[in-house]
Amino acid sequence: MGSLPWLRHKKRDIPGDLWVRCSGCKQTIFGKDLDDAFKVCPKCGHHFPISSHLRIAYTLDPATWHEYDAGMGAVDALDFIDEKPYAEKLETSASRTGLREAMRYGLGRVDGHQIVFGVLEFRFMGGSMGVVVGEKVARAVELARDLCIPLVLVSASGGARMHEGILSLMQMAKTCAALATLRESGGFYISLCTHPTTGGVTASWAMTADIILAEPEALIGFAGPRVIEGTIKKKLPAGFQTSEFLLEKGQVDMIVSRQEFRTTLSRLLRYLPEQPQGTLASRGHST
């Protein structure tokens, strides 16, 4: 069989991200239009997952990000192996993301307001919380407390990191204990839950903020719907564990689209009374 004429032509080299198919409306979107819209579908409003790098760029004033503890990496204390050794999974995540761990935190500014900003990288083992993620969250909280500046954390997580066993579960208590000291000192904490925020992260620091924001249609919950249905032997209502459902039930304060997050954050930060700010040197913090 002779080859078809169009097959004889050399294929044009089209970059893979020139056109993107939206998983919300199934329509094809021009990649640049998607980039210009903060990775939100211009046709249906579906929020595409984004990296921690983009989250930082979309949120903070340009060139104000100063990351802390970027070199802190996980230790495979249990020599854990499931389908692959844990150490190998860590290496794969590190080469995929260029990061040592799933949590990033540091100092930055939003419309000039200095904050401690932290964000989970979902591409690093599903944003799961092990010892290093918990430690970095606790350090972010303590930095905000000591410098007397607001704390803003963005979550996207599959929950506790089972590869670290009970050591990962204790991060729930540790991060909440740190947040209690922030509260006692009069500190202020805003949490943004993005798709998906689940398991031990939801059950600890993501849902214990002064103000809890969520991106539209994000899945936010502890156990998954199938586990809950199996336990309570009841059918769950439609839209269960979405941002919209949680807003209706009073678990979330506000749903904010990605394009509005920075201006919303700026407005919320303006409401805060001026506090005398500490300095890094006087509080013993260093990068």
Question: What does the binding site for Zn ion look like in residue numbers (CB under 5 A)?
Answer: 22, 24-25, 41, 43-44, 46
Length of the chain: 287
10 Å CB burial of residue 273 (0-12, 13-18, 19+) is: exposed
Closer Cβ to Zn ion, 25 or 236, answer by number: 25
Please state the closest distance from residue 21 (CB atom) to Zn ion, in A.
9
Strands 103-110, 66-68: pairing is antiparallel
Closest approach of Cβ 40 to Zn ion, in Å? 9
Residues 191 and 213 sit within 8 Å (Cβ to Cβ): yes
Q: Around Cβ 17, how many Cβ atoms within 10 Å? A: 10
Minimum distance of Zn ion from residue 31's CB (angstroms)? 13
Torsion of CA 176, 94, 162, 229, to 10 degrees: 80
Nearer to Zn ion among residue 64 and residue 259 (C-beta): 259
Smaller CB distance to Zn ion: residue 44 or 78?
44
When the beta carbons of 24 and 224 are compared against Zn ion, the nearer one is 24
Query: Which C-beta is closer to Zn ion: that of 46 or that of 145?
Result: 46
Q: How far is the CB of 26 from Zn ion (least distance, A)?
A: 7
**Position 184: which residue type?**
E
Q: Shortest gap between Cβ of 197 and Zn ion (angstroms)? A: 21
